[in-house]
Structure 1
Amino acid sequence: MTNIQSPLSTMNKNISNKRIIGLDAVKLIAMLSVVVSHSINVLIAYKQDLPMSTICHSLTAGGVPLFFMVSGYLLLGRKGTTYKYVAHKIWAIVRYIAAVCILYWIVMALIHWDYAQVKNCASEFVNTFMLRGPFTPFWFLWTMTVIYLLLPLIHRFYAHHTRAFAWSVSLLGVFCILLFAAQFTNLRYSDRTLLQPLKMWKWMFFFALGGVLRAYPAPRMHWGRIAICAAVLNAAQRYFLELVIHDTSNLAFAGSPISLLFYIAVFCWAIQRKWGGNYVLRTAGALFMPVYTIHYIIIQQLTSLHDLGFGSYITYPLLICVLSVAVSLIILHLPVKGGMARFFKL
């Protein structure tokens, strides 16, 4: 990565050898956003506590985009990417998904004393791509396998033509905005027409955007205040526009200029803030995969508790978050040689 006509090499020298606590903050925000989003989806499905459920749901909009931005920030900041590394990462993802599906149905078979249920492992594995079943959130992992396949090419473009890369990402962002706007035209485009893993233009944009923000750090501004203002505007657009496009999902609005401002502001605020030696942030990274894996199962098992009275848009997501984190901590502290955390490293 020498002779690059961009700030990239200088940035890598300054930050490649030390942990960026701000990224841990982004991952924590993204993790909690995903859990709360999936929890509030239950309330919205039952049309409960509207419009407050819609407003609270809009605050979780950054979950998935922030995950991709963190991945791009880290992976494109590597000194180099080999196909051996790519193969290792893809195999780790496929192995993890398969292992979780097998373990889940073994547990189900033991609980119900019906060993025939183990045969559901294969269909459950496929369902992770089709957004069905208890591991619906694993579509994110499948999308990452596609990004990993393309990573050597993307990284080469990023490292040797950083300015052109940044302009390309800008054009891809404009394309995402146009597709979002198309939902309100006679083109009859709907964000629901494709499965999430197939919308690669959207996820590639957020992944690459993370790399751009590493090569060209955003100026120091009051990003926290900007994020709050963008969150208010995002809540307003969701309240008025969800009825127009007949879609209540966060990802249907991922291409909105207001949403993009919200994601970028949260990311820049977390990166630029001085966190010090924050113990919670340094240890929260280990919780990501366990929480991401089990929270949807907990939601499915506790759907009947969605009606907790007034304020369910707070109490129900809070219950799911607490249980997801608690169960994850128990799993991570199981007395296994080498520690359970290594099983969740992809």
Structure 2
Amino acid sequence: MRERNIGIDLIKVIGCLGVVALHVCSKAFITSSHLVVDNGYITLFNEVLYYLGVVSVPFFFMVNGYFLLNKKAITYKYVINKILIILLISVSWSFIFSLQSWIGSGNSVYTLLINVFSVYIQAGEFPQFWFFGSMVLILLIVPLFNKLLRNYKTVYYTVTTVLIITCLIIDLINHLKGSPVSLNVIQTFRFWTWGAYYLIGGILGSKTTKKGVISFNKLLVLTIVVIIYEILNKAWIGTPNAEYNYDNILVMCWIVVLFIKIVNINFDTVSDKVKNLILSMSFSSMGIYIVHLKVLFLTMHVLDVKNPIVNILDLVVVFLISYGIVFLLSKTRYTLKLVSL
């Protein structure tokens, strides 16, 4: 059995924090119509935190590929069971909150059901559940790619290369057109992007060498370059939304290099308290992903999230409250099932 890699747990925590940063920090400089608020340099730090959050969703797909594509064998019985768990958790949350809105509204049961399942297409009570919808679709072909990675590596690498090239072509078109070509494709169905990151995760999970790990100083420089690019790119492609940076070659390289760097961190000298905290937050990562938008909605009634300084405070508040909620829910066996995959 492979020894637990705390680096992977740290990646989950960073990915989770990144998602919260994407949703919170955007409030400081992006309007509801997805336009940039011109505040000069006042919101620069919020923008930096927002664009650092671009690692989050790719990290989640890569971690799943890292593990599932490197299992000795994956049967469709395993896949169906995994899909049922994802659907049960996401539908339960969506139904509870959709029912609350539906009662007394006078709408039909059909409307209630539409609202419950619309979360998979980036709508409804939990629009972030598009991720679960995309994961379900990818899981359907995981047994095939698991077999390819184990027995037909050339085919696997070819498919991965084709997906990456597709990402680069789309990013090029974005820049030539001055607007995202995938603007009308909801994130659930952007298979070229998520498939590329998923398969890259599988490749990284099959490698055990630590050779070629970039130095911290070089990684820092690369990170600064990527953030500068992302901030400038909002003018080049006509939108500040970070989701349209995933296909860029510079961003992809940075995410992959950062993933490799974190996976290869030596935790032998790290205190047990820190490692236990990482493990605890890693265990809670999907739960935090589920509840954080509801927490953000509540804090927005109390805090002025458009204020750059308050916005950064809200980032910490939303993450910690979400973590606390998941921690409490995980204390009973029944509610535990609502926050863990």
Q: What's the TM-score bracket when you normalise by the shorter of the two chains? A: 0.7 to 0.9
Amino acid paired to 1:315: L
Q: Deviations for 1:290-344, whole angstroms, at most 9, x for unmatched residues?
A: 21111011122333423474523422212211221122222223xx3x3643443
Q: Tell me, which stretches of 5 or more residues in structure 2 are unaligned?
A: 32-36
Change (3 A) 1:299 1:189: closer
The structural deviation recorded for 1:104 is: 2.2
Q: Which 10-residue stretch deviates more, 29-38 or 183-192?
A: 183-192
Question: Which residue, out of 5, 18, 21, partners 2:3?
Answer: 18
Q: Deviations for 1:226-250, whole angstroms, at most 9, x for unmatched residues?
A: 4322221121112211022122222
Aligned partner of 2:289 in structure 1 is 292
TM-score, length of structure 2 as denominator length = 0.87
Residue 203 of structure 2 is aligned to residue 205 of structure 1: no
Q: Helix, strand or coil for the counterpart of 2:2?
A: coil
Residue 298 of structure 2 is aligned to residue 306 of structure 1: no
The structural deviation recorded for 1:289 is: 2.0
Q: Helix, strand or coil for the counterpart of 1:345?
A: coil
Aligned partner of 1:260 in structure 2 is 252
The structural deviation recorded for 1:202 is: 0.7
Aligned partner of 1:100 in structure 2 is 93
Q: Helix, strand or coil for the counterpart of 2:74?
A: coil
Change (3 A) 1:44 1:308: closer
Q: Deviations for 1:65-91, whole angstroms, at most 9, x for unmatched residues?
A: 000000000001111011111111111
Question: Which residue, out of 22, 27, 33, partners 2:18?
Answer: 33
- Check conservation: 1:128, 1:135, Cα contact below 8 A: yes
Question: Which residue, out of 64, 77, 80, partners 1:84?
Answer: 77
Question: Which residue, out of 103, 123, 132, partners 2:114?
Answer: 123
- Alignment RMSD: 2.4
Q: Helix, strand or coil for the counterpart of 2:140?
A: helix
Find the aligned partners of 1:328 and 1:266 in 2 and give their Cα distance: 27
- Check conservation: 1:105, 1:118, Cα contact below 8 A: no
Question: Which residue, out of 327, 332, 344, partners 2:339?
Answer: 344
The structural deviation recorded for 1:203 is: 0.3
Find the aligned partners of 2:26 and 2:135 in 1 and give their Cα distance: 24
- Check conservation: 1:51, 1:239, Cα contact below 8 A: no
Q: Which 10-residue stretch deviates more, 264-273 or 212-221?
A: 212-221
Residue 169 of structure 2 is aligned to residue 178 of structure 1: yes
The structural deviation recorded for 1:115 is: 8.0
The structural deviation recorded for 1:146 is: 0.7
Taking the TM superposition and a 5 Å limit, the aligned residue runs for 1:42-121 are 42-46=27-31, 47=37, 49-106=42-99, 114=104, 119=109, 121=112
Aligned partner of 1:8 in structure 2 is none
Q: Which 10-residue stretch deviates more, 130-139 or 188-197?
A: 188-197
Aligned partner of 2:160 in structure 1 is 169
Question: Which residue, out of 320, 326, 329, partners 1:328?
Answer: 326
Amino acid paired to 1:250: A
Q: Which 10-residue stretch deviates more, 25-34 or 86-95?
A: 86-95
The structural deviation recorded for 1:108 is: 5.5
Question: Which residue, out of 126, 129, 136, partners 1:145?
Answer: 136
Find the aligned partners of 1:121 and 1:234 in 2 and give their Cα distance: 43
Find the aligned partners of 1:325 and 1:340 in 2 and give their Cα distance: 14
Q: Which 10-residue stretch deviates more, 249-258 or 273-282?
A: 273-282
Change (3 A) 1:164 1:57: same
Q: Deviations for 1:208-235, whole angstroms, at most 9, x for unmatched residues?
A: 0001112234624235434322221121
Change (3 A) 1:180 1:157: same
- Check conservation: 1:287, 1:329, Cα contact below 8 A: yes
- Check conservation: 2:9, 2:279, Cα contact below 8 A: yes
- Check conservation: 1:42, 1:306, Cα contact below 8 A: no
Amino acid paired to 2:182: D
Q: Deviations for 1:234-274, whole angstroms, at most 9, x for unmatched residues?
A: 21112211022122222200111221122112211111001
- Check conservation: 1:227, 1:261, Cα contact below 8 A: no
Q: Which 10-residue stretch deviates more, 206-215 or 307-316?
A: 307-316
Aligned partner of 2:34 in structure 1 is none
Q: Deviations for 1:11-39, whole angstroms, at most 9, x for unmatched residues?
A: xxxxx432221110110110110011111
Change (3 A) 1:310 1:208: closer
Q: Helix, strand or coil for the counterpart of 1:247?
A: coil
Q: Tell me, which stretches of 5 or more residues in structure 1 are unaligned?
A: 1-15
The structural deviation recorded for 1:181 is: 1.4
Q: Helix, strand or coil for the counterpart of 1:74?
A: helix
TM-score, length of structure 1 as denominator length = 0.85
Change (3 A) 1:310 1:41: closer
Find the aligned partners of 2:311 and 2:29 in 1 and give their Cα distance: 9
Residue 224 of structure 2 is aligned to residue 239 of structure 1: no
The structural deviation recorded for 1:166 is: 2.4
Find the aligned partners of 2:108 and 2:261 in 1 and give their Cα distance: 46
Q: Which 10-residue stretch deviates more, 18-27 or 214-223?
A: 214-223
